[in-house]
Amino acid sequence: MGAMSASGGPFGFDPRMFEQVPLFRELAKVMSWQGGPVNWDLAGQTATALGTEGDAASTGVGHAFGDAVATAEHWLDAVTSLAAVDGPAEALTPSQWIAEAVTSQGLGAYIEPMAAGAADALGEQLPDELRQLGAGAGGDDAMRQAMSSLGAMLYGMQAGVIGGHLAQQLWSCYDLGVPTIDARRVGPVGTALDHFAGDYDLDVAEVRHWLALSEAVHRRMFAGVSWLSDEVASLVREFAAAADFDPQSLMDSLGGGLDPSDPQALQQALESSDAFAIEPTTAQRRVLDRLQALVSFTEAYADTVVRSAATERLPSLARIEEAR
């Protein structure tokens, strides 16, 4: 167990000294996080703050998108041997998407392996300055506990920023080419579909059916072909394992050090876009090439299948593809 300071905070951190810093008003709760390498509570709060402006769903809300997917499944049966997969099909507001995506089960599949690697590296190879800082407050164990919480907080903030921006930019659950939430769930996110149809003077029902085809074929791949989702997960883990987590470099990216007595400086360091930045290694680039090739293959397959299913059914298909 790590030592507690006289003020009651772990490793000499007094939560009261952060009360006037908005980002750290709940530092006591954040620094006690024990739910894994990413603080998903903080991530969800951050994403919600950034990504729920104009929180509305597409006009596909209700039965419209579900009906479009049901029709799309029949069309797909005629052009692909991939079996249909049951699952929810409905339009999501940005906040609904955030609630499912900014979690360990959602975007965590892509973020947590890297976060865990960084946490392990910091715990095993504490820089000298941190060992000295922790010498009078419980030693290495207390410092590892503090750094684990700090790392989870940082990755939680970064995951929240990513999730918040995606919530405002995504068209749909599979817009990234891989699942962002439960692989069985499909649907538009926000109102991008409606704006797209309006901006290009397209029939929103045709655009909805086109998106339903795309979402449904992605679901057939990622929820119905077990080796595909397993391979993506394996490549993500391999990418994380190939990283060079140099603890001193990680500390340098936080401005060269941490001073818990200066919360303003700590806040500025954590808010920096370079915080905990890690330069990809040669091995990571090779893994990334393989991952990108796999996703490109699935995207090309999906485009081909959608085009085959829609050519005779959606008169505006060429215009939709060109505008998209």
DSSP for 150-218, written as a single string:
HHHHHHHHHHHHHHHHHHHH-SBTTTTSS-SS-TT-B-BBTTHHHHHHHHTT--HHHHHHHHHHHHHHH
Q: What is the pLDDT of residue 165?
A: 95
CA separation for the pair 166, 182 (Å, rounded): 16
pLDDT band at 1 (very low <50, low <70, confident <90, very high): very low
Q: What is the pLDDT of residue 29?
A: 61
Q: Is 323's pLDDT higher than 90?
A: yes
Residues 6+ apart with CB under 8 A from 234: none
Q: What is the pLDDT of residue 227?
A: 96
The residues with which 231 forms a beta bridge, in sequence order, are: none
pLDDT band at 301 (very low <50, low <70, confident <90, very high): very high
Residues 6+ apart with CB under 8 A from 230: none
Q: What is the pLDDT of residue 4?
A: 41
Domain-wise residue ranges, the chain: 39-323
Q: Is 137's pLDDT higher than 90?
A: no
CA-wise closest residue to 86 among 207, 181, 186: 186
Q: Are 268 and 256 in contact (CB under 8 A)?
A: no
Q: Are 112 and 104 in contact (CB under 8 A)?
A: yes
Q: How far is CA 140 from CA 2, 133, 176, 193, 274, in A?
A: 8, 10, 41, 52, 26
Q: What is the pLDDT of residue 7?
A: 45
Q: What is the pLDDT of residue 320?
A: 97
To which residue do tokens 């060109």 refer?
A: 322
Per-residue pLDDT, averaged over 158-166, amounts to: 94
